Amino acid sequence: MKLEEAIQSNKFRNDVHKASLNILYTAWWLKTVLSRELKEYGLTHEQYNVMRILKGKHPEQMCVRDIASRMIEKNSNVPRIIDRLVTKKLVKSATSEVDRRETVISLTPSGLSLLDNSTSSINQAMDAQVSIGQQEAQVLNQLLEKVRAKE
Amino acid sequence: MKLEEAIQSNKFRNDVHKASLNILYTAWWLKTVLSRELKEYGLTHEQYNVMRILKGKHPEQMCVRDIASRMIEKNSNVPRIIDRLVTKKLVKSATSEVDRRETVISLTPSGLSLLDNSTSSINQAMDAQVSIGQQEAQVLNQLLEKVRAKE
DNA sequence: GCTTATTACGTGTATATACACGTATTTGTT
DNA sequence: AACAAATACGTGTATATACACGTAATAAGC
C-alpha cells in the first residue's frame, strides 16, 4: 500500500517530509510483520532483540549495560525485558563476581533453542515480505545513513 | 552514526537484513529528534499526530475511527490519546448527533495555536537534522514503497 | 584510608502499543 | 416491528518506551 493510502493524506511539505513519514510507517509495518512471527514463540520484538544480542557473545555472559548499548531503541528498559525472559527461563541472571554492581545475563539452553527456531521464522518472513533486492537494499542503506548523518 | 556503530554489530545476513534494521533504527532516531522538539510544547509524538490529523479537516469535526485510520501506527489507542488532549483542553469531544455511537472530536482554539507553533519547531528540526536532498528523498520514498510492496 | 564522584542497576510514573472484550447504537433481514 | 449482525467506542491487561530517581558498589582524588 502506498503511503498516501496508508495514512489517507497526500499533504506533504516536500519529499523529505514525506520520506520521514514513510520511514516511520515502514518501521511500523516491519515491526508488525516480525511480531506476527514472534507471537508463535511467545516473544515480543524487544525480547527477541535482547536474545539476539546475547547470542552474539554466547556462551559468554553479558552485563545489562552492554546489552542496552546494542539495542535498536536506545531507551529500552533492558532490566525489565530481562525480567520477563528470566521468568520464562530463557535467560539466566547473576551478580557479577568481578564487579558486584553488574548483573550478568546469559542464554539458557532452552533460550538458545527457542532463539534458533524463531530466527528461522523471522528470516523466512523477512525474505518473503520485504520485497527489495540486495542492490536496492544497498542504496537504501546509504540513503538511511545519510538521513542520520547529522546525529 | 553508522548503523554498525549504533548497534555495535556488523553481523547481517545480507543487505536486505541490514536495511530492515536500518529502517527500524532510523525510525527510532527520527522519533527521538521530533519528540525532543515536541517536549517543549508538552506533547508526545502521538498526541501531535492526532492533532495534525484533526487540522486536516479543521474546523470540521472528525470521529475517532476516522482519526485512527489515518494514524501512522495503526494500533494506536486513539480514545486514550484523545483523553489526554481533552484534559489539556487542546481538543473538544462530543457525541455525534447524527450517529450516537460516534464521538466527534475537534481542535480548540488553543489546540490549533499550540499545533501551529509546534509544527514550526518540528519543521525546522526536520530541515536541520534530516540531511538528505529532495531528489534523494524521492529515491528513498520509492525504495520504501517497494519494501512494503507485498503488504 | 577517607571522601567524593561515578557507574550499574532497579524501580516508579506517565504514556504508548497491541489486543481482547463489553456495551450502546445503528443497520439489515425477515 | 422484532431480531440478528455489524459498527463505534471505551476499558482492561500485558508489555513497551521515556525518563527520573534511589541505592549499592566501585573508582578517583586527596
Give the three cell numbers for residue B95. 457525541
The string of pLDDT tens digits covering residues B85-125 is 999 999 999 999 999 999 999 999 999 999 999 999 999 99
Instruction: Tell me which residue range forms the domain holding B58.
Output: 43-127
Domain count, chain B: 2
- What percentage of chain B exceeds 70 in pLDDT? 99
Same domain? For B69 and B35 the reply is no
Same domain? For B63 and B108 the reply is yes
CB contact at 8 A, B119 and B40 = no
pLDDT tens-digit profile, chain A (151 residues)? 899 999 999 889 999 999 999 999 999 999 999 999 999 999 999 999 999 999 999 889 999 999 999 999 999 999 999 999 999 999 999 999 889 999 999 999 999 999 999 999 999 999 999 999 999 999 999 999 999 997 6
The size of chain B, in residues, is: 151
* A132/B147 CB distance under 8 A: yes
Per-residue model confidence (pLDDT) at position B18:
96
Residue A31 falls within a domain, yes or no? Answer: yes
Contacts of A9 in chain B (CB under 8 A): 53, 56, 70
* CATH (domain of B104): 1.10.10.10
Residue A5 falls within a domain, yes or no? Answer: no
CB contact at 8 A, B91 and B51 = yes
Report whether pLDDT(B151) > 70: no
Whole-number Å distance between alpha carbons of B18 and A40: 24
- If you write DSSP's letter for every residue of A58-124 in order, what string do you get? TTS-EEHHHHHHH-SSTT--HHHHHHHHHHTTSEEEEE-SS-TT-EEEEE-HHHHHHHHHHHHHHHH
Same domain? For B12 and B70 the reply is no
Whole-number Å distance between alpha carbons of B27 and B92: 31
Per-residue model confidence (pLDDT) at position B58:
86
* B9/A56 CB distance under 8 A: yes
Per-residue model confidence (pLDDT) at position A25:
97
CA distance B79 to chain A (A): 18
Give the CA A64 to C1' D9 distance in Å: 41
Same domain? For B53 and B123 the reply is yes
Same domain? For B87 and B117 the reply is yes
